[in-house]
Homo-oligomer: A and B are copies of this chain.
Amino acid sequence: MTRQKQGSLVVIGGAEDKEGDCKILHRFLRLCGGREARVLILSTASTDPSAGEQYGAIFTDFGAHDVRILAVPSRKEANQGEFKQVFAECSGIFFTGGDQLRITGILGGSRLGDALRQAHCRGAVVAGTSAGASVMSETMLVGGVDDATPKKEIIRMAPGLGLLRQVVVDQHFAQRGRIGRLLAAVAYNPEMLGAGIDEDTALVINEDGVCEVIGSGTVTIIDGRNVAHSNISESRPGQPLALTNICLHILAEQYCFHLNKRNVFLPAAKEETSR
């Protein structure tokens, strides 16, 4: 008996190219099987019922024959629908952007949520953009102040879908000046890695925890494991955080990072650079 392979994750920082070479969306579809892919688009994050249609049209245009859109606007529908079969057969699931709390509030612990998790465990690729990226984390960022000095209270967190362990994802990262909020999240628990994903940029993560950067921006990895000092436990409301000896990696396309070993691999030689 062979062990089932968990599907890859494609964690997208939002605003991915949809008109040019669509590198990220093509990569997702290729991972799901290309023309043979069976793709489910989940637009639950958005209140706009047409949010999934744009992606549906794109994947169909790429040649995928079987693309379905599940809007699932309420928890009632997430528990009533007959999702088991459609998830059992899908090869890829794509979360659109919107509000990450809509995704977890509607899907978390529902029949649809269970079917999705089972699909991922048996090999279906799961992708998400913007809110759909944040929701991958076990504990996700749901809000925060952009372009801000890192402080304890500038972020709000909530339980995510937990498809990506020990990593807090932030998106629209450089474009919205979000390093302060991701640093605050890592300060909460430096065991977590912070992954700040720029727009039109994605991390493709395989089941062994190897991430590859694709797209036109960078992914900022914040590794707090060796933080020597943090004032988070004693800092008062409004007081800025202090954190020393954070390890930061700025990774561009083709760079890889091993989530478990926490080291970087260069594009060409896949040479290990951490020390």
Contact = CB atoms under 8 A, between A and B. Distances in A.
B255 A251 contact: no
Interface in A130-183: 146-150, 174-177, 179-180, 183
Contact of A150 (B218, B228, B247): B218
- The size class of the interface chain A forms with chain B is 35 or more
A98 to B, nearest CB: 22
A69 interface: no
Nearest to A248: B246
A218 B20 CA distance: 40
B228 A252 contact: no
A249 B217 CA distance: 24
18 contacts: A147-B147, A147-B176, A148-B174, A150-B174, A150-B250, A174-B177, A174-B180, A177-B177, A177-B179, A179-B179, A229-B264, A231-B252, A235-B252, A241-B252, A244-B264, A245-B264, A246-B247, A246-B248
Q: How many copies does the complex hold?
A: 2
A199 to B, nearest CB: 8
A242 interface: yes
Contacts of A229: 264, 266, 273
Contacts of A183: 250
A242 B228 contact: no
B149 A174 contact: yes
A83 B209 CA distance: 64
Contacts of A250: 150, 183, 240-244, 246
A180 B252 CA distance: 13
A245 B249 contact: yes
Interface string A218-231: 10001000101101
Contact of A244 (B179, B239, B249): B249
B149 A198 contact: yes
A242 B252 contact: yes
Interface string A183-217: 10000000000000010010000000000000011
B177 A147 contact: yes
A217 B151 CA distance: 9
